[in-house]
């Protein structure tokens, strides 16, 4: 029979702090469309499920039960969870940026709709791309990889009341650079398409200034952009999911 003492309760609460802060920021889990109580009970369930596995590692980092030490441990665990969650959030912000770029270059950015998985309104194309990516995380079982990464984080970043000042900055900057490089690769075909078609219609406008070329070009820009999106949508999402999975494997 295992006795649940104060150290076990404190270790479980510290696990809750890291997991809860991370899932509060990670895409999919942190959607405002999910009720707050559902997210709270989800984090509690995951914490209680992982507590027998992680409690021993967490207790090794607890150096005392003084209030100052406990507060430092809680702040440190919340900081680690926030760093991991923000790194995942960077990838979806980069995908949202790529979706907004695609909507602009193909002429579909003038009608912002209500966002489904976020609070601010964006173009329908952007909402479609980000929502599909969030669904694919659960369809392809990458949410289990998120939990695996959180478990492995206790080996990479043990529980301690002190956290290196440059740890979070380095990790977030690396994730930010990788995410937006991935966004550039995703939106590259549409950027090339925009440059080519705008150059073509710009030359046509110079040759025939009496014709309103801008209004004539809109249907062709929409049609060409729609065709490119139709033929590259699967590769676009596959490229993003591969990059996101690689990031999870590196945590």
Domain ranges (residues) in the chain = 6-250
Cα dihedral 72→61→160→5 (10° resolution): -30
CA 249 to each of CA 152, 182, 226: distance values in angstroms, whole numbers, following the listed order: 10, 16, 34
Can you tell me the distance from the alpha carbon of 204 to that of 152, in angstroms, rounded to the nearest whole number? 58
Question: What would the two tokens of residue 233 be?
Answer: 């949508």
Determine the Cα–Cα distance for residues 248 and 132; give it in Å rounded to an integer.
19
Contact 90, 175 (CB under 8 A): yes
**Short-list 155, 149, 156, 158, CA closest to 62:** 158
Q: What is the pLDDT of residue 200?
A: 86
The one-digit pLDDT tens for each residue of the chain (251 residues) are 456 777 888 888 989 998 988 888 888 777 777 787 888 898 999 998 888 888 888 888 777 777 888 888 888 888 888 888 888 888 988 998 898 888 888 877 766 665 666 667 777 888 888 888 888 888 888 888 888 888 888 887 788 766 655 667 788 888 888 998 999 999 999 999 988 888 888 888 777 777 777 777 788 888 888 899 889 888 899 999 998 888 888 77
Helix (H, G, I), strand (E, B) or coil at 50: helix
Which tokens go with 44? 């509690």
């Amino acid at each position: 029979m295992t006795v649940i003492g104060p150290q076990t309760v404190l270790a479980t609460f510290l696990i809750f702090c890291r997991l809860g802060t991370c899932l509060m920021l990670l895409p999919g889990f942190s959607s405002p469309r999910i009720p707050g109580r559902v997210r709270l009970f989800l984090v509690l369930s995951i914490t209680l499920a992982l507590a027998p596995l992680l409690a021993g590692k967490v207790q090794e980092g607890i150096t005392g039960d003084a209030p100052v030490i406990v507060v430092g441990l809680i702040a440190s665990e919340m900081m680690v969870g926030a760093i991991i969650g923000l790194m995942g959030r960077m990838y979806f912000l980069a995908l949202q940026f790529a979706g907004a770029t695609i909507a602009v270059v193909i002429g579909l950015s003038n009608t912002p709709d209500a966002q489904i998985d976020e609070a601010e309104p964006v173009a329908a194309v952007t909402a479609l791309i980000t929502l599909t990516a969030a669904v694919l995380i659960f369809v392809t079982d990458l949410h289990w990889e998120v939990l695996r990464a959180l478990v492995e984080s206790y080996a990479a970043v043990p529980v301690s009341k002190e956290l290196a000042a440059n740890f979070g900055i380095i990790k977030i900057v690396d994730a930010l650079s990788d995410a937006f490089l991935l966004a550039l690769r995703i939106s590259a075909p549409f950027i090339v398409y925009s440059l080519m078609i705008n150059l073509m219609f710009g030359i046509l406008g110079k040759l025939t200034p009496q014709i309103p070329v801008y209004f004539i070009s809109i249907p062709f820009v929409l049609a060409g952009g729609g065709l490119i999106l139709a033929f590259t949508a699967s590769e676009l999402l596959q490229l993003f999911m591969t990059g996101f999975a690689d990031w999870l494997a590196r945590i």
